[in-house]
Amino acid sequence: MTYEQVSHFAQTWGLVFLVIAFVLVVAYALWPGNRKKFDRAARRPLDEEPPQEPPQKPQNKSESS
């Protein structure tokens, strides 16, 4: 096989593969059975408390000079 043949095959069948993969991902995301899972995932950042940051220790004045 030459480079042109491989390139043509990848461009045509690669496009077909990516279109099919896109359709499958969209179908999975919009499938009615997955609605609860995605609703929980969408609310998760709002339901949990933000992580507490550790207190910062004061810097010594001798280190900053």
Buried b (16+ CB within 10 A) or exposed e, 42-52: eeeeeeeeeee
- pLDDT bin (cut points 50, 70, 90) of residue 56 is confident
Question: The whole model's pTM is what?
Answer: 0.55
pLDDT band of residue 62 (cuts 50, 70, 90) is low
Query: 């949990």: which residue's tokens?
Result: 48
The residue assigned the tokens 């810097």 is: 59
Given a cut of 60, whether residue 32 has pLDDT beyond it is yes
Alpha-carbon distance of 25 to 18, in angstroms, equals: 10
Residue keyed to tokens 């507490």: 52
Query: Whole-number mean pLDDT of the chain?
Result: 86
pLDDT beyond 70 at 63: no
Cα 15 to the center of its chain, rounded Å: 22
